[in-house]
């Protein structure tokens, strides 16, 4: 998870996908920021819904599901200030990984690793 410390990675969040809608060539996701793992430009993200945008051609590949939780890291170049909030573009510089739920069979090791990563980032941070 050292990718969170790369220079162009603006943020790292644990999010929950609340809803999504397709419009034109894009899919718009409303995700609630459950935990700020790495603080970025958006200083008010914690606990708030944020808009994420994905090109529709990539929707099936990612397979994001309403109600599920994810680790999301986005680039500083893919962050748009819109009116009174931010919109995050999910593109080639983004990282997204399903965050297993507690007790999800076969995924305890991944859930533990993500929890450890989150705790490490919040207590130690990046060394560079």
Instruction: Give me the CATH number covering residue 32.
Output: 2.40.50.120
Residue 107: domain span: 2-123
Q: Are the beta carbons of 69 and 106 closer than 8 angstroms?
A: no
Q: What is the pLDDT of residue 128?
A: 60
Query: What are the φ/ψ torsions at residue 62 (nearest 5 degrees)?
Result: -75, -40
Q: What does 52-120 look like in DSSP terms, one character per residue? A: EEEEGGGHHHH---TT-EEEEEEEGGGEEEETTEEEEEESTT-EEEE-PPTT-TT-HHHHHHHHHHHHH
Task: Identify the pLDDT of residue 108.
Answer: 83
Answer whether residue 128 is part of any domain. Answer: no
The percent of residues above 70 in pLDDT, for the chain, comes to 97
Structural domains of the chain, count: 1
Judged against a pLDDT cut of 70, whether residue 106 lies above it is answered with yes
Per-residue tokens: 68: 């599920």
pLDDT band at 7 (very low <50, low <70, confident <90, very high): confident
pLDDT tens digit sequence for 54-80: 999 999 999 999 999 999 999 999 998
Q: Does the residue 101 lie in any domain?
A: yes
Query: Looking at the domain assignment, is residue 86 inside a domain?
Result: yes
Is residue 36 in a domain? Answer: yes
pTM for the whole structure: 0.92
The reply to whether 110 falls in a domain is yes
Is there a domain that residue 74 lies in? Answer: yes
Taking residues 91-118, what's their average pLDDT? 87
């Amino acid at each position: 998870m050292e990718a969170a410390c790369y220079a162009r990675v603006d943020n790292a969040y644990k999010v929950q996908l609340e809803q999504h809608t397709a419009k034109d060539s894009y899919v718009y996701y409303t995700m609630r920021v459950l935990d700020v793992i790495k603080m970025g430009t958006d200083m008010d993200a914690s606990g708030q819904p944020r808009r994420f945008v994905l090109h529709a051609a990539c929707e099936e590949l990612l397979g994001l599901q309403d109600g599920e939780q994810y680790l999301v890291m986005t680039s500083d170049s893919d962050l748009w200030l819109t009116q009174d909030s931010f919109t995050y573009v999910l593109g080639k510089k983004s990282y997204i990984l399903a965050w297993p739920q507690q007790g999800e069979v076969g995924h305890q090791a991944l859930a533990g690793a993500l929890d450890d990563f989150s705790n490490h980032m919040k207590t130690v941070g990046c060394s560079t």
